[in-house]
Amino acid sequence: MVIGHLTIRSRLSKMIPDGRIPHAMLFVGADGYGTLALALDFARLAVCSNPRTVAAADSGAHAAFTEACGVCRSCVQTSTLQHPDVTILTALPTGKFDSEQDLPDDVLEELSAQLRTIAQDPYEPFGLRNAMQIRISQIRNLKRSLSLSSVQAGKRIVIVHHADEMNTEASNAFLKTLEEPHLDVTIILTTQNPVRILPTISSRCQELFVPPLAEADVTDYLVNHHDCPIEEARVVARFADGDIIRARSFLTEDMNAERTEALNLLRAALKGQKYRVALADAIQLSTEVKDQKRILRLLQFLALWIRDTQLVESSGTVDIVANIDQTEALQKFSASFGTADLALCLTSVERASRDIRRNVSPSLVLLTTLVDIRRILYTTRQTAAV
Ligand SMILES: [Zn+2]
């Protein structure tokens, strides 16, 4: 199952019948954009014995692509990731063992459970607990198996998940494998950190940048795979920036509670004379748990609220806002502050996120930012002419 990214899938699928499959490709993009999903989809197609052409429903010609048939023997095997000619390499946890062959039982179990999960849903996070490095022994094993002929006399695909996790030895051994390409073997590296891959490796790979998913695709995914009600899915997708893993974290972290918290901070900052006490209380509540990511999400909610206010002010409607379940509150807020310098407020929130990432004290950042926003909102709004 792979969603969206029609142009990329079309481009990839055209390589196969034309026999223009590169020996090595590097898929660069956040895990949540579906880099692994695209790699697995490509593997499935490459080994399928009866691929079929589909025209995407809303397509221009560019979006027509080939996909695996789903029923041939290869497809049955790849659907559970048990095809002998599709290999996935991933970092192993530290321990005495040297390769996949002599992994302790609990790690083996974890690995096969994870493989079953991504076979079902390739947008799930993939990687063993405490795994840090892809080791040289794994690359040696790979080399050995590539020197044998393919099991089903067809193409072979090797996916190196998070290729930047190869340690130096492994990278050097891997480079040699790339320098002696094997017929009918394609190696796909995936990474979120392309700068951590040896330039001598990346220069031998055809690079493919995987962009964020379209918001509509994220919405569909949440509705179809997480039984998320459409209204909520639309809100979450708007906040997720095309990243399914981030979208899912919003679902599990109780997005609504965090958004309410962010808005409470804003409300406290906008109170009358005694706002300082209310604001200090709200900030204390929000910073009790030391969690940088959580503070960044609060700031993100704040930014989206301000952006929505801009939209309501400029369009006069609430049709396209992110907080579609909060339209009444948004209209009220917009009536009070819609004419203020909201762009300046956004700059203030952006600066706050940067400071949080630089480990400035969260309480201090929230206090200065919210006092700043209060000042901007009250002093720059135009009060209605009499
Ligand atoms: Zn097939």
Distance 73 CA to ligand 1 centre (A): 7
* Residue 385: predicted pLDDT: 53
At residue 318 the predicted structure's pLDDT band, cuts being 50, 70 and 90, is confident
Distance 362 CA to ligand 1 centre (A): 53
Distance 14 CA to ligand 1 centre (A): 16
Distance 51 CA to ligand 1 centre (A): 6
Domain spans, the chain: 6-211, 253-380
| Range with the poorest average pLDDT among 19-28, 112-121, 222-231, 320-329 | 320-329
Residue 61 has pLDDT above 70, yes or no: no
* Residue 207: predicted pLDDT: 96
Task: Give 11 or 384, the one with higher predicted confidence.
Answer: 11
Residues with CB under 5 A from ligand 1 (ion): 48, 68-69, 72, 75
At residue 246 the predicted structure's pLDDT band, cuts being 50, 70 and 90, is confident
Residue 149 has pLDDT above 80, yes or no: no
Question: Percentage of the chain with pLDDT > 70?
Answer: 95
**How deeply is 212 buried, as exposed, middle or buried, from its count of CB atoms within 10 A (0-12, 13-18, 19+)?**
buried
Distance 83 CA to ligand 1 centre (A): 12
In this structure, are residues 324 and 235 in contact, taking their beta carbons and an 8 Å threshold? yes
At residue 152 the predicted structure's pLDDT band, cuts being 50, 70 and 90, is low
* Integer Rg of the chain from CA: 25
* Residue 250: predicted pLDDT: 81
Distance 295 CA to ligand 1 centre (A): 47
Distance CA 70, CA 73 (A): 9
At residue 241 the predicted structure's pLDDT band, cuts being 50, 70 and 90, is confident
Region 139-161 average pLDDT: 85
pLDDT digits (tens, 9 = 90+) for 74-98: 999 999 999 999 999 999 988 777 6
Q: Return the CATH architecture of domain 6-211.
A: 3-Layer(aba) Sandwich (3.40)
**How deeply is 363 buried, as exposed, middle or buried, from its count of CB atoms within 10 A (0-12, 13-18, 19+)?**
middle
Distance CA 160, CA 171 (A): 11
Q: What is the DSSP letter of 128?
A: -
pLDDT digits (tens, 9 = 90+) for 279-300: 999 999 999 988 888 999 899 8
| Range with the poorest average pLDDT among 101-105, 236-240, 302-306, 363-367 | 101-105
pLDDT digits (tens, 9 = 90+) for 333-343: 999 999 999 99
For 317, residues 6+ apart whose C-beta sits below 8 A from its C-beta are none
Place of tokens 């017929």: 183
* Residue 255: predicted pLDDT: 80
Q: What is the DSSP letter of 113?
A: H
- Mean pLDDT score of the chain: 90
User: Rounded to the nearest 5°, which phi and psi values hold at 156?
Assistant: -125, 140
* Residue 102: predicted pLDDT: 78
Residue 266 has pLDDT above 60, yes or no: yes
* Residue 91: predicted pLDDT: 94
* Residue 150: predicted pLDDT: 65
Six-digit token string for 223: 């509705």
**How deeply is 328 buried, as exposed, middle or buried, from its count of CB atoms within 10 A (0-12, 13-18, 19+)?**
exposed
pLDDT digits (tens, 9 = 90+) for 160-219: 999 999 999 999 999 999 998 888 899 999 999 999 999 999 999 999 999 999 999 999
Region 342-357 average pLDDT: 96
Distance 354 CA to ligand 1 centre (A): 48
Distance CA 386, CA 378 (A): 18
**How deeply is 53 buried, as exposed, middle or buried, from its count of CB atoms within 10 A (0-12, 13-18, 19+)?**
exposed
Distance 44 CA to ligand 1 centre (A): 8
Distance 61 CA to ligand 1 centre (A): 23
Element (H, E) at 186: strand 185-191
Question: Percentage of the chain with pLDDT > 90?
Answer: 67
